[in-house]
């Protein structure tokens, strides 16, 4: 077993200090091999040393600018640093060089969403849902994007699918409640806000939504 393989084994066990030693040995033995730098960068990213991880990803790309995993790792690092333009470029390079994974599409959607480019985020989340209909988080983000673009019926469809896949996520129910509010389905909205609160009692947005709906229903009753 070579040093990279030993390092990966230790990394998977959570023994980061020992894993680092093996990755460093691999680099020392063959400093022109990009994969060793990528492994070390992955470790650094896991332990939160993201800026240093970027140095190793970039070194790997200097040695071989076709390694898709280096682009993907660097993209995630830039995303963690809120450097979204750089992250977008790196995710696009990862796609170009062969990583056709749903996570790349998801993260490209998140990059655009974080940049306020919701219209551009939409097709990426849609693509993830097409690739994996059981991805609850992708459906949730897809629903948020649709809701932002005032495609409320379509958003409700995605939120409803998401909650069936992830029944313990209060944010899904809260956003379903908001969507039903826009459709003037107050009782359904109230049910969703209450469901969110049953899962997270201190969900302030759901509590506020519940209060607004109850006040509205109370006024309607008084006016009858």
pLDDT grade, residue 1 (50/70/90)? low
Share of the chain above pLDDT 90, in %: 94
Instruction: Please report the DSSP string for 58-84 in residue order.
Output: HHHHHH-TT-HHHHHHHHHHHHHTT-H
**pLDDT tens, residue by residue, 135-184:** 999 999 999 999 999 999 999 999 999 999 999 999 999 999 999 999 99
Residue ranges per structural domain of the chain: 1-100
**pLDDT tens, residue by residue, 190-208:** 999 999 999 999 999 999 9
Contact criterion met (CB below 8 Å) for 70 and 57: yes
pTM (2 decimals)?
Answer: 0.90
Alpha-helix residue ranges (DSSP H) falling in 47-169: 50-63, 68-80, 84-96, 102-114, 118-131, 136-148, 152-165
Give me the pLDDT at residue 224, please: 59
Which helix (H) or strand (E) is 115 found in, with range? none
Give the phi and the psi of residue 190 in degrees, each rounded to 5.
-60, -40
pLDDT grade, residue 100 (50/70/90)? confident
Total count of residues recorded for the chain? 224
- CATH-assigned architecture of domain 1-100: Alpha Horseshoe (1.25)
**pLDDT tens, residue by residue, 31-51:** 999 999 999 999 999 999 999
Q: How far is CA 154 from CA 80, 103, 108, in A?
A: 30, 23, 21
Instruction: Quote the CA–CA distance of 145 and 159 in Å, as a whole number.
Output: 11
- pLDDT exceeds cutoff 80 at 222: no
* Listed residue (185, 183, 175, 167) closest to 205, CA to CA: 175
**Across the chain, what does the average pLDDT equal?**
95
């Amino acid at each position: 077993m070579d040093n990279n393989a030993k390092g990966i084994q230790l990394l998977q066990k959570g023994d980061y200090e020992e894993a680092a030693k093996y990755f460093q040995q691999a680099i020392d033995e063959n400093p022109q091999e990009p994969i060793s730098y990528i492994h070390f960068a992955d470790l650094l990213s896991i332990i939160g040393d993201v800026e240093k991880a970027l140095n190793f990803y970039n070194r790997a790309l200097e040695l071989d600018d076709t390694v898709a995993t280096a682009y993907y790792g660097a993209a995630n690092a830039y995303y963690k640093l809120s450097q979204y333009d750089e992250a977008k470029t790196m995710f696009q390079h990862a796609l170009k060089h062969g990583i056709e994974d749903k996570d790349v599409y998801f993260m490209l959607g998140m990059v655009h969403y974080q940049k306020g480019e919701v219209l551009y985020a939409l097709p990426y989340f849609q693509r993830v849902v097409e690739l994996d209909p059981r991805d609850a988080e992708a459906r949730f983000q897809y629903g948020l994007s649709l809701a932002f673009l005032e495609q409320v019926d379509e958003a409700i469809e995605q939120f409803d699918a998401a909650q069936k896949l992830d029944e313990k996520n209060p944010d899904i129910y809260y956003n379903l409640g908001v969507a039903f509010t826009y459709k003037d389905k107050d009782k359904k909205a109230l049910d969703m806000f209450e469901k969110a609160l049953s899962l997270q009692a201190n969900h302030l947005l759901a509590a506020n939504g519940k209060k607004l709906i109850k006040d509205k229903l109370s006024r309607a009753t008084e006016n009858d």
